[in-house]
A and B are shown apart, each in its own frame.
Chain A
Amino acid sequence: MLELNRLSAGYDSGNIVHDIDLRVGEGEIVALVGANGAGKSTLVKAISGIIPVRSGGLQFEEERIDRETTRARVLRGLVQVPEGRQIFAGLTVRENLRLGAHGRAKEITPPQLAEKIVQIGELFPILLQRLDQPAANLSGGQQQMLAIGRGLMADPRILILDEPSLGLSPILVAEIFQLIAGLRQKGLGILLSEQNARLSLAIANRGYVIENGKIVLGGTGAELLNNPEVAARYLGVGKAVGDTQPESNFASRLKRLLDRTE
């Protein structure tokens, strides 16, 4: 459904991501893992049209969309749940959810809209209880649920989740990921951009590892989880003891450096 062909994007100062090939199909979770600053968010922004695609192809259901506005992409069903939740803090939970369906507002009657809010409420019961409170009053986890629920209001075909685990406690993260895994059953394609590689690869059908703006590794979720290189770099279970590659072990390097200066 969503296809990236040698896509490059960035800011005025230059490209951040280079020649990205990536595909998300129906009912599929694709994880995009990488360290802080690897280019995940830039890529995700380019897919949503927040920043322009510099070169390469971006297709959605066999149609080129790289010149379209964000709004046009949302109308097609390409919806992003942004990093850091970005809820409308001063508006109520209900207004936040209604805004999620803004793009389709012309096709949806008020009763249908209310119906949809109830449907989202089945996924996130806590939101239903607090519909008329300002979104700012929600806890971090609830705000993340609201952000996802708001994204779902747009009837997405592809949902892009940018760092949904950011700033949440481990228990909440697990809960959110369980939910994400459940969404795939509805035929929704999910692109999950995450620093938490272990969890995201665990629920993903396929995954890509991004480093310095390039995809360095791809495979099924299980393959990547069992890849020793991925394990060493992103899962924190590498050859910590007796490491022969000093530069991959920050702690030992730091120790040597401190020894030398003494």
Chain B
Amino acid sequence: MIQAIQIIIGGLLQGAVFAVLALGFSLVFRVTGVINLAQGGFCVLGALLMYTLQVSYGLPVPVALLGAVFGTFLGGAVLGATTFVPALARLPVSSILVMTAGLLTLIQGVLLIGWSSTPYSLPPISGEAPAVLFGIRVPTQGFWIIGAAALIIAGLWFLLARTRLGLALRACAENRLAAQLMGIDVPRMTLLSFCLAAIIAGLGGIAVAPIISLQFDTGGFFTNFGFIAVAIGGLGTFAGAVLGGLVLGVSEQLAAGYVSSLFANGLALALLLAVLLWRPNGLFGAGPARRQDVRDEQRIQRAIVRLDGKGGLLFALIAAALMLALPLLLPSGAILNSLVITGILFIAVLGLDVLMGFAGQVSLGHAGFMAIGGYTAAVLATTYGWPPLAGIGAGIVLSLLCAVGLSLVTTRLRGHFLALATLAFGLLVDSLTVGLTDVTGGPSGLVGIPSFSVAGYVFNSPVRMYYLVAGLIIVLTVMLQGGLRSDFGRALKAVRTDQTAAAALGVNVARYKLAAVCIASVLASLSGSLYAFNFHFLSPDMVGTPRSFEMIAMLVAGGEGTLIGPLLGVALLTLIPTVFQPFALYKTFAEGLLLVLCFLWLPEGLFGAAAIWFKHALIKRKAVSG
């Protein structure tokens, strides 16, 4: 009995932190209609600032606390004013969502540069000795966590329900145009909500840092669970956010205490998928979902730019020839190896391009399919001695099964809910790859994977792998290029532009979405398998959720919906760290920065921008010669 109570108290403590994070999500969502995935980053930023001020500089706790909160606020204000507010004025909601994922990466990059990758832990505010109440041991930090959470909840409630400023914030959430016409400074309110959410997250991080050790990328964990908490509870209500956090925390701890910690994550994600399926507004949400699509209509979907006609063909031939000749021009070694990795990742990104670029379906869990393909092929080849090709086939079949299952959940979802479901899928796969230690080798990874081979021919050198991957890419690109120029491709684009209109024209939206998810999952699975065969090793962080975000950055930087364009993005993010080894520390930062900048300033991507430039140049030359 005492054990159960102790577990529940632990759950409530964890839940209080989730609840605080969920409140931040809910606040920004209610004011702007956007989920801000950067939230978890501010959590860690606050805690690490606190560590530096309190431990490194030895400042007294209250002073350090003020400094850390102010620092987090400053970070929020700078990022909010330079990225979030401008994005809100010109990007559709789903793009902003992904841009905030970029912000999270950016913050993690800053933290990595500033605090390196060591884990930090704050000293508990009132000492290490736990308090004992009726024979139950409670860490004293627990009281600080609960107290901080209660204070934040009460403060936020007071601000929104009882003050003029709060009313103005709520007005922005309800109707931005009307709020502007009432003389409310909408961008300022947006920034205010963003900064408030950052402060809330920072406080949460500071409160929890003594019982959880934090490092630069813990923000991803906080974002995921805050996001899940708010989705379970309901996006639109603060009570829902708080209750969702507590439910998530307690159920996690109960599952971890009585079953296993692997099962804990799985349970949370299963809970999320169930809620999304049956009660998309959350367990405690009221009324029908509002605004999800209405808001998207107000901003024009970004156009897809691509080369066509003779120019495209010429370009394709040159590119193919260059690709095949490249190993002859390069010294074998690190660069060739990176090119192989670039190619393998590009296969997965191609799939993501079909799904996001063509069909317009956000996926934050694409690496999940890479993991399925990678581990299936690797385990079958290593443990059971299957030929690699059969392993790849089995991985694809399993991925397809998962894709169909995921589609059953996601066809009815759009916007944030879709993003959430795919994120949950990715995290579920993450927790399985880490947790099924007997099969996958757990966190330390699976070793001794053989090279890829077909009928006795072994692809055991970088040059061989290179030609295998290059050939695959050419075949796949030509196939997709043909396939997407047909009715099928047009139907996908119709779904991307406007699902309702597409349905009204007789496009079976659900079927096309399913087809896009299937193509995406097959390509990701193939890529994952090749990845494993190439490295002879596979660990969960090679195909985890950060990889999903990275692939989105690659896609967006290269140019969505252009098929070959993302290759530029993949190459950029894969080759630069190889070529400039000393800068590896800045990789995360650069990735985040690239994603955010591309969303804001280069919405057509590198390839799209180049294509536009090329077209203009062509027109000019014609004008001169004609």
Binary flags per residue of A63-100, CB closer than 8 Å to B gives 1, else 0? 00000011100110001101000111111000100111
* B174-A74 in contact (CB<8A): no
Whether a CB of chain B sits under 8 angstroms from the CB of A50 is: yes
Given A102-B164, A105-B164, verify A89-B183 contact (CB < 8 Å).
Answer: no
* A87-B183 in contact (CB<8A): no
Q: In the complex, how many angstroms separate the beta carbon of B26 from the nearest chain A beta carbon?
A: 14
Given contacts A75-B183, A87-B175, A87-B178, 11 further A-B contacts (CB under 8 A): A71-B184, A82-B181, A88-B170, A88-B174, A89-B175, A90-B174, A91-B170, A99-B179, A99-B182, A105-B164, A154-B182
* A74-B181 in contact (CB<8A): yes
* B181-A91 in contact (CB<8A): no
Q: In the complex, how many angstroms separate the beta carbon of B478 from the nearest chain A beta carbon?
A: 36
What residues make up the interface of A, taking CB atoms closer than 8 Å to B?
Answer: 48, 50, 69-71, 74-75, 79-80, 82, 86-91, 95, 98-100, 102-103, 105, 150, 154
* B174-A70 in contact (CB<8A): no
Given A102-B164, A105-B164, verify A86-B181 contact (CB < 8 Å).
Answer: yes
Residue among A48, A50, A70, A74 with the most chain B CB within 10 A? A70
Q: Which residues of A contact B183 (CB under 8 A)?
A: 70-71, 74-75, 102-103, 154
Whether a CB of chain A sits under 8 angstroms from the CB of B128 is: no
Count how many pairs of residues, one from A and one from B, have CB atoms less than 8 Å apart in the complex: 66
Bound: A102/B180 CA distance, A: 11
Q: Which residues of B contact A95 (CB under 8 A)?
A: 167, 170
Q: In the complex, how many angstroms separate the beta carbon of A233 from the nearest chain B beta carbon?
A: 30
Bound: A103/B171 CA distance, A: 13
* A99-B168 in contact (CB<8A): yes
Q: Which residues of A contact B168 (CB under 8 A)?
A: 99, 102
Given A99-B171, A105-B164, verify A88-B178 contact (CB < 8 Å).
Answer: yes
Question: Nearest CB to that of A49 among chain B residues?
Answer: B180
Q: In the complex, how many angstroms separate the beta carbon of A63 from the nearest chain B beta carbon?
A: 17
Count class of interface residues, chain B: 10 to 19
Question: Nearest CB to that of B165 among chain A residues?
Answer: A105
Question: Nearest CB to that of B170 among chain A residues?
Answer: A91
Q: List 14 A-B contacts (CB under 8 A).
A: A70-B180, A74-B181, A75-B183, A80-B181, A86-B177, A88-B174, A88-B175, A89-B175, A91-B167, A95-B170, A98-B167, A99-B171, A99-B179, A100-B182
Bound: A56/B342 CA distance, A: 55
Give me the 10 closest cross-chain CB pairs, A-B, nearest first. A103-B183, A74-B183, A88-B174, A86-B178, A71-B183, A102-B182, A99-B182, A99-B171, A70-B180, A80-B181
Whether a CB of chain A sits under 8 angstroms from the CB of B185 is: yes
Q: Which residues of B contact A90 (CB under 8 A)?
A: 170, 173-174, 290
Binary flags per residue of B178-217, CB closer than 8 Å to A gives 1, else 0? 1111111100000000000000000000000000000000
Bound: A74/B170 CA distance, A: 19
Bound: A145/B164 CA distance, A: 23
* A70-B181 in contact (CB<8A): yes
Bound: A74/B182 CA distance, A: 7
Q: Which residues of A contact B178 (CB under 8 A)?
A: 82, 86-88
Bound: A90/B178 CA distance, A: 13
* A71-B185 in contact (CB<8A): yes
Q: In the complex, how many angstroms separate the beta carbon of A140 from the nearest chain B beta carbon?
A: 16
Q: In the complex, how many angstroms separate the beta carbon of A92 from the nearest chain B beta carbon?
A: 10
Bound: A95/B168 CA distance, A: 10
